[in-house]
Amino acid sequence: MDEPDTAAILPDDEVSTSGSAGQKEEADVPTTRSVRPPFTCPLPVSVEPVLFLSMFSLALQAPLSTQYLWDRISEDLGYNGSKGSGCSNGSVPPDPLQKEVETLTAHWNLYISLGGFSVGLLVVPLLGSWSDLAGRRPVLILPNLGLALQAVVYLVVMYLKLPVIYFLVGRLLSGLSGDFNAILAGCFSYVADTSDRRSRTFRVAVLEACLGLSGMLASVIGGQWRRAQGYINPFWLVLATNLASALYAYLFVRESVFPDPSVPLFSSRHYKAVWHLFSTGGSSSEGSGRCKLWLYMLCFFLVVTVHFGSRELYVLYELSSPLCWGPALIGYGSAAQHLAYLTSLLGLKIMQRCLADSWVALVGLASNVTGLVVFSVADTTQLMFTGYGLCFLFMAATPVLRSKLSKLVDPSEQGALFASVACVESLCFLVGSGLFNSLYPATLHFMKGFPFLFAAFILFIPAGIIGTLQCLDQRRGHRDPTAS
């Protein structure tokens, strides 16, 4: 073992622990070497600022791009949006043009998402598995540069009033660099490299809380800024934030694995590593390990598909009748949604004192289901914000699932695992965008909030799987008290 290099990548509290914890604790933290960046960050953080800045950029541009599509399509069709009486007065029959604008906006969201995420579905597992050998830092830098290039394309479209199909070009360029999912894969792999089994769930939850905090700030800023100055200036901040994230990763983030510069990026071995993981269940899996890996990955797929699929509909749902929200309210709503990342982190920390991780995940799913049911019938601003309030623990499930997946495999397999998770997450974007953006216009005529109700029903599947696996584990533990 190369103890000095291993300690160089760990936080100070984990360094002191690893020296006295014993053989079992040391096996939980992979032996790696540190590649020093040009500068040392004085704060006790590692990849958290990278994820914070990248998520800030994504959360700032996502609702703005949807609103831009709405405004451009409304302008092309001659619809005056929420200024019309059909939006301000619920007794007036819906404007046929409004329904056409909603449908076209949902479809363009679908096309843009399908284009970007379908490319990312091939690139993300390649980059994630490659980072296990070549290092994490390139996977933190390259996708941010791709997202910056996407922002440049969006700015050109807005300055020159080009057709909205050019948004698709920007998404494809971002997808070719790995998109935001590659950044997620790199950050979560980094945390798995530098944490032990006991602290991993909370460390993962801290990363997800960074997602929420940055998303909340971006949502509030984006709504107010768009109302005051339009779309172009906020997208300049999107560009600057992505460049700042890439620069921070280059200057301050230490490498968490020993990089092999001779490893080629374009190689089938990276895909084979992912396939081997799921065909064998991981080196540390015993008996039902492969089954658990597949079941937890299915739960993760369903939960994240619901998160991303329903999230894309919130802005459309709030823009149109009967809510007719403006940019400020849309920003507050998005901020309330992202605030749940922080409340979920606090709730997870508290519940872990008396509940197993699986029960924490079930509480989070119950919070999500109740919020979605309220969204499905929300026809006033107060009811919509009630739904956001009920979702205050909805992000407690995903860090538990990531941690459980990580604990099923050896430390040497973390890169392949999180490449798989990144691949599934890309598929979640793809399926969620396709399903919910298609379902929303198809169900407008009988129940506008039906997609949210449908999402709530889907969440009962992972809840049943997680609860069943936990009960089986507890029964097995009662039979064999020495089982870990």
Give residue 155's Cα distance to chain centre. 24
**Structure-model confidence comparison of residues 398 and 17, the more confident one:** 398
Listed range (329-333, 377-381, 448-452) with the worst mean pLDDT: 329-333
Predicted confidence band at 86 (pLDDT cuts at 50, 70, 90)?
A: very low
Q: What is the rounded distance in angstroms from the CA atom of residue 174 to the CA atom of residue 70?
A: 22
Those residues with Cβ within 8 angstroms of residue 298's Cβ, 6 or more apart along the chain or in another chain: 462, 465
Those residues with Cβ within 8 angstroms of residue 25's Cβ, 6 or more apart along the chain or in another chain: 17, 18, 196
Residue-level pLDDT at 397: 94
Homologous superfamily of 44-84+93-258+279-479: MFS general substrate transporter like domains (1.20.1250.20)
Tens of pLDDT, residue by residue over 191-209, are: 888 888 778 888 899 998 8
Predicted confidence band at 20 (pLDDT cuts at 50, 70, 90)?
A: very low
The answer to whether residue 2 scores a pLDDT higher than 70 is no
Which of 44-58, 77-91, 138-152, 277-291 is the most confident on average?
138-152
Beta strands in 307-449 (DSSP E): none
Tens of pLDDT, residue by residue over 400-434, are: 999 999 888 877 677 778 878 877 877 887 788 78
Tokens of 379: 């026809």
Tens of pLDDT, residue by residue over 230-284, are: 888 999 999 999 999 999 999 888 888 888 888 888 877 777 777 777 777 655 5
